[in-house]
Amino acid sequence: MKKTVLFFVLALVISFGVITGCKQNSPTAPAATATPANVEGTVVAVLTNVAIANATNTKVAQETATAAAGLYTATLTSTSTQIPNATLTVQAILTVVGAGNATATEQAQETQTSIAILYTATLTSTITPSPNQTGTAEAIGTMIANIHESETEAVILSRTPTPTATSSITPTFTVTDTYTATPTVTFTITNTATPTITATSTVTLTSTSTPTPIPYSDFVSVPGGTFTQTDGTNSFSHTISAFKMGKYQVTYDLWYAVYQWAVANGYSFADAGTGSGYKPVTFVSWRDVIVWCNAYSQEAGLTPCYTYSSAAIKDSTNATACDNVVCVWTNNGYRLPSEGEYQYAGSYIDGTSWTPYNYASGATADYTNSAATGLVAWYSANCSSTQAVGGKTANALGIYDMSGNVYIWCWDWYGTYPTTAQTDYRGPANYGGDHMVRGGDYFEGASPLKLCYRGSYSYPYSGRSNCGFRFARTY
């Protein structure tokens, strides 16, 4: 019964063609026969049942694809007699239904006027339904229920439908309508809620105090002297002038602090470096390292050592400048140690005694003695990744990790040793493609930890996971 009665409402809507559509020919139809009193009671029951359905069914799941299709594809035939105000009455009904389907999502956006019109209309009509009235009526009920799907149950139940308006409609023509409704509704919203305001402020502090030195940025003074530099096969007498060597491998913490300052002051790097805290920085190329040393020098108020065309190099992506760099050894800025300086500081004991070339720096036995080697070096026998600097025993000068943890970039291009005595030898002058590295690393065996071991890496623009650096300075 509910489905049949509900059809009457839709039949009224469609039969008058008041939504934007196209009306067909309207021949005069025979008068309909119905008892107005029965129709009025039936429509009142329809509206009452719809209101009840809206109170208990609030989910869009109530609308089925079949019902929706029935609503928009039904073609109804109606015979009725139109009175002058019939069109306006049907327009009002459809406007209210369309308004309910608007995009608004808050109950506060519906006006009481629209609600009253929807729930108080009582219509009297004489109409002859077509055979698909049941499916159409189901679709009407489903769509009206969905109008209020976003409302809470309490709001729906608080309404009391009170039909008061009466309209008498007597259609006199047959209409077949196809239409698309696009309602436009304007709502007035009054918001009486008290807003909560959260304020966020940013405070920038400027300090004029002298910054505290970053941990592990210390130097060790290395006295000058003469020793035998060897790779285990070739040797030469090498006199080294006094200099300063970094006590630790450069940590990521120190690298990053200088890197940030450098980028803010006109320096550019191909690599940002990798690591964490007090572990040695890695994935920095030879070019990155010399530019970083210049930046650290400038930040500390020292004179940078690395120049090209007499200007300090500030861009590690400039291959021409970096690969044709000149090191001004007499400047007091930060720089890389030469290969000779590295082996000298690693072997030094007291100026007359030297750690043998086949020992790790600071060890008391050769590299094959795992107990002696493990006390001074991180390598594959006791770790599988980089370690915080300074975790092993220092050598005779008090320098840590001269063997193990990560390889160390040196200044020199790779080349064979000279055959005559040298003073402050700094490798071949020509570009050789490889730069020297010293000290061994964390994932190889003990052999590269030997003081005589010479390593080299091709391509100075390439950083590696097992290679970092240690700075030096000239007195």
Q: What is the pLDDT of residues 395-412, one digit of tens each?
A: 999 999 999 999 999 999
- Given a contact cutoff of 8 angstroms between Cβ atoms, the answer to whether 100 and 149 are in contact is no
Confidence at residue 143, expressed as pLDDT on a 0 to 100 scale: 56
Residue 15 to residues 33, 82, 295, 448, Cα–Cα distance (Å): 17, 11, 85, 96
Q: At which residue do the structure tokens 């809206």 appear?
A: 54
Confidence at residue 117, expressed as pLDDT on a 0 to 100 scale: 46
Confidence at residue 457, expressed as pLDDT on a 0 to 100 scale: 87
Average of per-residue pLDDT across 278-301: 97
- pLDDT value at 204 more than 60: no
Confidence at residue 132, expressed as pLDDT on a 0 to 100 scale: 57
Lowest mean pLDDT among 250-259, 327-336, 424-433: 424-433
Average of per-residue pLDDT across 226-242: 98
Q: pLDDT (tens digit, 9 = 90+) per residue, 58-93?
A: 444 444 444 444 444 444 444 444 445 545 555 655
- pLDDT value at 236 more than 50: yes
Instruction: Tell me the C-alpha distance between 302 and 296, whole Å.
Output: 8
Cα separation of the two ends of the chain: 106
Average of per-residue pLDDT across 145-164: 52
Confidence at residue 100, expressed as pLDDT on a 0 to 100 scale: 53
342 φψ region: left (φ > 0), alpha (ψ -120 to 50), beta (else): alpha
Strand pairing category for 467-468 and 407-413 = parallel
- pLDDT value at 122 more than 90: no
Per-residue pLDDT band at 166 (split at 50, 70, 90): very low
Per-residue pLDDT band at 22 (split at 50, 70, 90): very low
- pLDDT value at 350 more than 90: yes
Average of per-residue pLDDT across 290-301: 98
Strand pairing category for 219-222 and 243-246 = antiparallel
Give the HSE-up count for residue 76: Cα atoms under 13 Å, Cβ half-sphere: 29
Q: What are 369's two structure tokens? A: 């003695």
Average of per-residue pLDDT across 357-365: 98
Taking the C-alpha atoms of 182, 183, 186 and 192 in order, what is their torsion angle to the nearest 10 degrees? Answer: -100
Residue 266 CA to its chain's centroid (Å):
27
Lowest mean pLDDT among 148-157, 166-175, 200-209, 433-442: 166-175
Confidence at residue 432, expressed as pLDDT on a 0 to 100 scale: 66
Residue 190: which residues within 8 A CB-CB, separation 6 or more?
Answer: 108
Classify domain 219-474 at the CATH class level.
alpha beta
Lowest mean pLDDT among 41-50, 167-176, 241-250: 167-176
Q: How many CB atoms lie within 10 A of CB 137?
A: 26
Per-residue pLDDT band at 433 (split at 50, 70, 90): confident
Q: What are 271's two structure tokens? A: 């690599």
Question: Domain extents for the chain?
Answer: 2-169, 219-474
CA angle 209, 210, 212 (to 5 degrees): 120
Q: How many CB atoms lie within 10 A of CB 461?
A: 16
Q: What is the average pLDDT value for the chain, to the nearest integer?
A: 74
Residue 34: which residues within 8 A CB-CB, separation 6 or more?
Answer: 126, 127
Average of per-residue pLDDT across 267-291: 96
Q: What are 4's two structure tokens? A: 């049949």
Confidence at residue 234, expressed as pLDDT on a 0 to 100 scale: 97
Q: What are 403's two structure tokens? A: 């063997």
